[in-house]
Chains A and B, each alone.
Chain A
Amino acid sequence: MRTRPITRVGQYVALLAYIVFLGFPLLWLFSTAFKSPREVISLDPTLLPRTWSLDSFRVALDNTELFPSLLNSLIVAVSTAILTTVIALPAAYALARHRSKLRTVTVGWILVSQVFPFVLIVIPVFIVLRNLGLLNTLPGLVLVYVVWALPFTLWMLQGYVSAIPRDLEEAAATDGASRGQVLLRVIFPLLAPGLVATAMFAFISAWNEFFFALVVITDPAKETAPLLLARYVGGEGLVNLGPLAATALITTLPSLLIFAVAQRKLVSGMLAGSVKG
């Protein structure tokens, strides 16, 4: 198709506008974190630091609450990723290989879980956790996250299972492999990349989550990183913009790294998330 030059110019101008709109806030966070304390509060701010400084990072890392909160986040996110994947795997296999009424029910549930407001379940979940003695504990938070990530994970994984030809299983079975051997030797290795992508997805969603953490965790020693950040914003954060930006960057790093590694896979997952059902 021919595109007129003037249209092309318009397209590039629009592309530039998108780059600015999408990229600028990220640049500003980055720039604020690397400015010297004096420059951060300058009334005549510049796009990039005049002098690059690590002072804000020093202050951020000096905060004794940062590492415990990052560790809490890490424990919660890794546990969520592993548990969700392990729990979802058999169900995903069943969903992909057996067409039953249960499949319809599950797909329906996945769809419902998307539009379901947390406010509707947060109070009962709070009560359940309280009755189980899991309120204000990291395992309690993990349980909530696992359930929250499950529908999504299940859908992603069953897609990966479906992509493995059934013939492979049949062939292995004909060669005398037992059911367990088929799963272990044939399906599992082929599914490994899918499992990793799914786990990464669950990790990112747990690492970034805020609402349930706010409700479930009240003890500062058990805070996850987003909770610590939110507490900063309320109080000292507005005074200490540089360290706030630095802490925000440090907190984003793990999920960003995972995202960078598995971008393609996660995007297809994201897509499944916005279209599932």
Chain B
Amino acid sequence: MTAAAQAPATIDPGPTTPPAARRRRGTPVGLWLLVPSLLPVIAFSVYPLLNGIWLGFTDARAGAGVQFAFNGVQNYERLFDDGLFWNSFGIGLVWAFSVTILQFLLSLGLALLLNAGLRFQWLVRPLALVPWAMPSVVVAILWKLIYQPDAGILNAFLKNLGIIDTNINWLGSFTLALPAVIVVGVWAGMPQTTIALLAGLQNTSTDLHEAASLDGAGAWQRFRSVTLPALKPVIIAITSLDFVWNFNSFGLVYVLTEGGPGGRTKLPMLFAYESAFSSGEFGYAAAMGNAMVVLILAMLGVYLWRQLKENT
């Protein structure tokens, strides 16, 4: 990961350029070139971010226009006592952890397979990538078709195997809905994780492998003592990014279940979306967003710090 990320930078012959040439294309020109990008980013990204932090401390509501007032930490006090929010936050954690871990394990397996020089692996590559090029709404629809209670293929399949007698309403079940959407999340997120891990694998040197092999190390030993340590930076980066992405996901589950049944799949983003755009509580929803970012960063910070300490 780090190696791949640094690649463009190392190609850049910046420091070797003679001083005269550098002065000729001085910074002011470079600055002007950035303006077209900076303007929209400031207007639609930096400003909203800061404004969102401010809104979290106000009583802003959807219909009220600009007439809202600072109300201190009221939103946060309310959030602290809001059982529904914490419930949703908990669902978000279960979802993000499960999807991230399963996604990682399955992607690692696939990346190792794709790196093993098997025949027919060209078949898997496009299959593993197509979900990425699909709208999340379409991904949700195709899984909805599979999970259909009556004519769905999953129930038919399980029935034919004699595993179940009566059809299961997967997405409508209090206990099965969350696992069912987790499977979809894993399926949809595998492309990016697999690609990143595959790139990491291809960057690791084969010499060490050969040497370990000559020393009589078995496949598992080689994996544990050569591949895994070399992949470590990639693994840390991709799992933490996946975790945040998964925690923030919206479209997939929104279309699959709209947060149901009975709120069992109401991910935090769905909850915040409803607070803002169904109940119209802009200030409260903004506070929710702020709190979630802080909580997630705190969690990820601990994880990253531990990984860093372990590595040094």
Residues of B close to A102: CB separation below 8 A: 30-31, 34
Residues of B within 8 A of A21 (CB): 106, 187
**CB interface residues, A 218-277, toward B, < 8 Å:** 225-226, 229-230, 233-234, 237, 241, 244-245, 248, 251-252, 255-256, 258-259, 263, 266-267, 270-277
CB pair A119–B248 under 8 Å, yes or no, is yes
- How many residues of B sit at the interface, in one of the four size bands? 35 or more
Interchain CA distance A128-B146 in the complex, whole Å: 40
Knowing A12-B118, A123-B55 touch, does A44 contact B156 (C-beta < 8 A)? yes
Known A1-B210, A22-B128, A94-B34: A120·B43 in contact at CB below 8 Å? no
A52 at the interface (CB under 8 A from B): no
Judge whether A184 is part of the interface by a CB distance below 8 angstroms.
no
A210–B135 CB distance below 8 A: yes
- B-contact 0/1 string along A1-45, CB 8 Å cutoff: 111000110011011001101110110110010000000111111
**Would B40 and A147 count as touching, CB distance under 8 A?**
yes
* CB proximity of A195 to chain B, nearest CB, Å: 15
Q: Write the B89-110 contact mask toward A (1 if CB under 8 angstroms, else 0).
A: 0000000000000000010011
Size of the chain A interface, CB-CB below 8 angstroms: 108
Given A22-B190, A208-B134, residue A28 in contact with residue B195 (CB < 8 A): no
Chain B residues positioned under 8 Å from A125 (CB to CB): 44, 48
How far is A242 from B136 in the complex, measured between Cα atoms in Å?
19
Contact of A15 with B113 in the complex, beta carbons under 8 Å: yes
Contact B30 A100 (CB under 8 A): yes
Residues of chain B contacted by A258 (CB below 8 angstroms): 133
Q: Which of A115, A208, A276 is close to B136, meaning CB atoms less than 8 Å apart?
A: A208
Known: A41-B150, A109-B41, A118-B248. A15 touches B290 (CB 8 A): no
Instruction: Decide if B145 touches A28 in the complex (CB within 8 Å).
Output: yes
A267 touches B195 (CB 8 A): yes
Distance, CA A149 to CA B129, complexed state (A):
20
Is the C-beta of B299 less than 8 angstroms from some C-beta in chain A? no
> Bound complex: CA of A209 vs CA of B36, how far in Å?
23
Residue B225 at the A interface, CB < 8 A?
Answer: no
Question: Complex Cα distance A126/B61, Å?
Answer: 12
Q: Shortest distance in angstroms between A26's beta carbon and chain B's nearest beta carbon? A: 6
Query: Is A60 in the interface zone, CB < 8 Å from B?
Result: no
Residues of A within 8 A of B209 (CB): 1
Question: Cβ of A162 < 8 Å from any Cβ of B?
Answer: yes
Pick the contact of A207: B135, B145, B153 (CB < 8 A). B135
Q: Does B309 interact with chain A (Cβ within 8 Å)?
A: no
Q: How many angstroms between the C-alpha atoms of A38 and B251 in the bound complex?
A: 30
CB-defined contacts of A259 to chain B, threshold 8 Å: 129-130, 132-133
CB <8 Å contact, B238 and A229: no
Give the contacting residue for B219; candidates A7, A94, A121, A234; CB below 8 A. Answer: A7
Specify the chain B residue showing the minimal Cβ separation from A122.
Answer: B276
Q: With A166-B17, A210-B137 in contact, do A275 and B196 touch (Cβ < 8 Å)?
A: yes
Is A143 part of the contact surface with B, judged by Cβ < 8 Å? yes
Q: In whole angstroms, how far apart are the Cα atoms of A21 and B150 in the complex?
A: 21
Q: In the bound complex, how far is the Cα of B263 from the Cα of A268, in angstroms?
A: 38
- 9 closest A-B pairs (Cβ-Cβ)? A124-B48, A94-B33, A90-B33, A259-B133, A159-B8, A91-B37, A98-B30, A208-B135, A210-B251
**B: which residues have CB within 8 A of A?**
1-2, 4-5, 7-9, 11-15, 17, 21, 25, 27, 29-34, 36-38, 40-41, 43-45, 47-49, 51-52, 55, 60, 106, 109-110, 113, 116, 118, 120-121, 123-124, 126-138, 140-146, 148, 150-153, 156, 187, 190-193, 195-196, 199, 209-210, 213, 219, 234, 237-238, 241, 244-245, 247-248, 250-251, 254-255, 258, 268-269, 272-273, 276-277, 282, 285-286, 288-290, 292-293, 296
